[in-house]
Structure 1
C-alpha cells in the first residue's frame, strides 16, 4: 500500500471524508513539554494572584519571515491592519480562506520593519510559509519548530511572567525601573547582562487582580542565567514556577478558544495548500472530539467573529477572503462566552464516571478535560443546538469548572442557563483516551465578558 505523502493524499486515502478522518485520529491533546507540575496545579493557579513564571521555550513553533515584502505578504493574507505595524509591535494574527472562514491565529511579533515572527501552534506558521513560498514575495522563511519536533537547539528562550507582582520582579532583576510597555507592544531591557525583548500581554483574568504579564525572549544560551535572575528577584514576591497542567488552564482563564478546526480541508481554494502540507504534519493529525458530531467537516468551520476576533478585522485593505468575510460581517454570528458548569452536575458526572460501570459518564480529567486537539461539545438552549463548548478546566481561583464556548449571539446573555452535552460516544472505538461511557448533560451559566 502506498503511504500518503500529503494532507490531500491522506484525505483521499481515508475515503475522502476529512471529518471522519479527524474523528478517528488518535493524536492526544497538544503537547506541552514541561514537567506536569512544579508544585501542584492548584497552588500554581492560585499563584496567578501573585506571580507565576511559565517556561515557554519548548512547546511553541516560531516561524521567521524576513525581506522587503514581509509587510505586503502579511497584509495580503491577514484580516489585520498593518499600516502602523513594524519593529516592537505585536498582533493577534488571524487568517481566513476565500469563504471568510477561520484558518489560524497566532501572535505576530515585529522584530524589525522587515522581519516578523509568528509564534504559537504550527498552523499559522505553516500557512504563511506556504503563501510566502508559492507567491511572488521577496521573503525568506526560517522555522524554529517546537522542541519535540526539532533536532536543533531552539533559537530563543521564552519566559512568560504573569501576575500583579510581575513588573516588580522584572525591575528587581533589571536593577531599576523600566519604561512602561504599552499593551501588545514590545519593550527592551537587560537582565543578567542579556538583552531582553518583552511583549506586554496577559494570560490570566482573576477578578480583582491586576492583569500584568510580560513574555520575555532572548538568546537560548542565556536562558539559564536569566531564569536564575528572575527566580532570585521573585523570592520576596511569592514567585512560583508553573507546570504543564496549570499552563493548559490559562487558555480558559484568558478566554482563548483554542485550536478550532482550520477551514482548509475542503474547497479548491485550499487544494494547493493541502497538497503542500505533509501527511505526517499537524493538520493531518488534527484529532477532533466532542459530542457535536457531524460527518461534514464544514460544520466545524468558524469565522473570526465566532471566536471573538471581530475587533482585529479591518476591511481597509485587500486581503485573501476579504469580500466573503465582509458579507459575513453583519451576522448573524456566534459569540465567544465562558460557561460556568453547574457544580452539582459536575459532581454527578464524576461520581458516575467512577462508580457506574457500563453506564458510566465520560471521566472529567483534572484540571483540564481535553483529550483531542480540537474540542466541540454540543451546547443546547432547551433542545436546540446553539453552538459548541471548547476547552474546559477547573479554575481554583474561581472554585469552578469553566469552559470557553461559541454560541448564537442571541443566546449570549449573562446569567442565561444552557446545557452542555458531555461525552463523546463516537470516539470510543478510535481514541485511546476515550473510555466506554454514555453521553450525559451538564447545566452551565453564560458569562459574556469575564469570569466572576
Structure 2
C-alpha cells in the first residue's frame, strides 16, 4: 500500500471533519451504480424475473476490486487477519472472507478463492483487501500482492478478470449447451477449470438469490469470446442480460448485507492504519444516510454473528479480534431479518406499486415508538410485488410476523437530535426470515455449511 501524502489520509479527513460521522454522513446520497454495465437491458423488473423463472446473465467484470496474493506466507497472513478456516480450504474453493477488528466487529466481507497452495484472489469492495495488504506490509510476511481496482476507480486499462454469472432454473441447460455437455460434478462454491470458445475458464459453482448457476472467471482478454459464447448458447432459452439496477437487488432476497460499516474509525490502535488509507478510499467515501442517525460511528458497526456468518467463522486458530469475536458469540443482541413493507404504506411513500427502490440507507425501525433496529438494504422485488428491507433488529423482535414500523427519510445529521421528530413518513412492516427466499434459506444455506 502507498501512504497518502500529508493531509490526504483517512485520519486527516476525520480530523478535519471533526469525527467519522461528520465525514461520512451524507443525506440524500444516491446509491452507488454499477460502472460500465447498462442500468437496464430489457427492464429491471423483467431482469429480476429472469433469474427465478428462466435464465439470466450478469456481468460482474466491472464493479468489484481484485487483490491477487501470492507467496510462502500467504496462507499464514490470511489466517492471522481473518476468522476463516484455512485447514479445510481446497485449491479452487471459494469462501466468504471474514476479517474482524480487535473489537470483533467486521471490517467488510469478500470472496476469497484459493488459486494454488500459496496463491489467493480476494474479490469485492476494497476494505477487506486494504486490511490484508496493510498487515502484509506491517507484519513482514513473505508475500506479494497486486490490486486491480473496480472500473469506477481504475484510471485506465481493463479489468484483470472477466466474471459472468449464469443463474436461474435453466442455467444448467444453458451451460450444457455452451460446453457441449454437463460440466464435471463440482461442489457448491468449488470450481473446476474448463474451456469455452477455446479459452481457459474457471467455472465456480455458485448462484444468487437462491438460484442454481455458475460464475465463469477468466482473463479479461477473453471477455468478448466467452461472453459471446454464453449469449449464443442462451439465445434459444430466452437468456436475459441483467443490468445494474436489477443486479443490485438480488442480495435482499438472499440475505446478504453488502456494505457494512468497517469497524476501523475510532480504535486508537488503528490510527496508523487510518493514516495508511486515502481520504478518497472506500473507507473515506462510503456514505451513511437514512433516518437512523448517531454521533457514535460504533453504532453502525456489525458483528459476523449478526450478519449470519457463523458458518464461515472458525475460532480454532489465533487471529485479530478472535477473543472479542468468541466472547460476542453468546451475547448477540440483534438478528438479521427481512421486513415486508406494508403495500399501502409503501405506495404512499414510494408511489407506484412497481416503482424501483434500491437504498442502502440506515433507516430507523421502531416498535411502539421505541428504536429496535435499522435497515441496511431495501429494494423492490417486482416478481413478488413487494418492497423488502434487509435489516438488523433486536432479537426479541425477530420473530416472524412481528409488526414494526420503518421511519423512511433523511436525518440531517449534526445539530439535530438523533431521535428528533422530523415528521418523516412511517411504514408498517412485518418481520420475516432472512434469507427471504425459501430456497436460499434452506437448500442453498445447507451447501454453504
Aligned to 1:361: none
Conservation of the 8 A alpha-carbon contact between 2:378 and 2:390: yes
* Counterpart residue number, 1:226: 226
1:359 counterpart residue number:
none
23, 26, 38: which one aligns with 2:41: 38
Structure-2 residue corresponding to 1:360: none
In the alignment, which residue of structure 2 is the partner of 1:164?
169
1:72 is aligned to 2:61: no
Q: Does 1:419 align with 2:415?
A: no
- How far apart in 2 are the matches of 1:70 and 1:265? 27
Gaps of 5+ in 2: 416-421, 439-449
Give 3-state SS (helix, strand or coil) of 1:423's partner. coil
Q: Tell me the SS of whatever aligns to 1:8.
A: helix
Q: Deviations over 1:321-356 (max 9, x none)?
A: 0011111110133111111110000111135xx9xx
Equivalent-residue separation in structure 2 for 1:175 and 1:24 (angstroms): 51
RMSD: 2.1
Distance in structure 1 (CA, Å) of the matches to 2:93 and 2:222: 23
| TM-score, with structure 1 as normaliser | 0.90
Q: SS of the counterpart of 1:63? A: strand
Give the CA deviation at 1:3. Answer: 7.5
Q: What is the CA–CA distance in structure 1 between the aligned matches of 2:293 and 2:279, rounded to whole Å?
A: 24
Following TM superposition, by how much is the alpha carbon of 1:20 offset from its aligned partner in structure 2, in angstroms? 1.8
Structure 1 partner of 2:20: 18
State yes or no: 1:117 paired with 2:103.
no
Q: Secondary structure at the match of 1:305?
A: coil
Q: Corresponding residue for 1:376? A: 362
Q: Deviations over 1:134-169 (max 9, x none)?
A: 112111011011122222221211101111111111
Equivalent residues in 2 for 1:232-247, closer than 5 Å: 232-247=232-247
Q: Which residue of 1 aligns with 2:317?
A: 317
Change (3 A) 1:369 1:154: closer
Q: Deviations over 1:383-417 (max 9, x none)?
A: 22111111111112211001101111221111111
Mapping of residues 312-391 of structure 1, within 5 Å: 312-351=312-351, 366-370=355-359, 375-391=361-377
Give the Cα separation in 2 of the matches to 1:348 and 1:393: 16
SS at match of 1:338: strand
Kindly state the Cα deviation for residue 113 of structure 1 after the two structures are TM-superposed: 1.3
Q: Is the 8 A contact 2:27 2:290 kept in 1?
A: no
| CA deviations over 1:68-107 (Å, ceiling 9, x no partner) | 1111111101111111214101100011111111111001
Deviations 1:295-322 (A, max 9, x none): 1111111111111112211111111000
Q: Deviation of residue 365 (structure 1)? A: 10
SS where residue 413 of structure 1 aligns?
Answer: coil
8 Å CA contact 1:97–1:270 kept in 2: the answer is no
Query: Runs (4+) of structure 1 moved beyond 3 Å?
Result: 24-28
Q: Quick check: 1:99–1:324 contact (8 Å CA) kept in 2?
A: yes
* Preserved contact between residue 28 and residue 287 of structure 1 (Cα < 8 Å): no
List alignment gaps of at least 5 residues for structure 1. 206-210, 355-363, 430-436
Change (3 A) 1:447 1:310: same
Using the TM superposition, give the Cα deviation of residue 4 of structure 1 relative to its aligned residue in structure 2, in angstroms: 2.4
Question: Could you say which residue in structure 1 is the equivalent of 2:10?
Answer: 7
* Pair 366,289 (structure 1): closer, same or farther in 2 beyond 3 Å: farther
Corresponding position: 1:90 with 2:76 = no
TM-superposed deviation, 1:278: 0.8
Aligned to 2:138: 134
In 2, distance between residues paired with 1:3 and 1:291?
35
Give 1:440's match in structure 2, choosing from 417, 425, 447: 425
What secondary structure, in the 3-state scheme, does the structure 2 residue paired with 1:221 have? Answer: helix
Cα separation, 2, equivalents of 1:444 and 1:42: 22
Q: Which moved more, 1:233-242 or 1:148-157?
A: 148-157
Residues 291, 411 of structure 2: 8 Å contact kept = yes
**TM score, norm. by length of structure 2:** 0.90
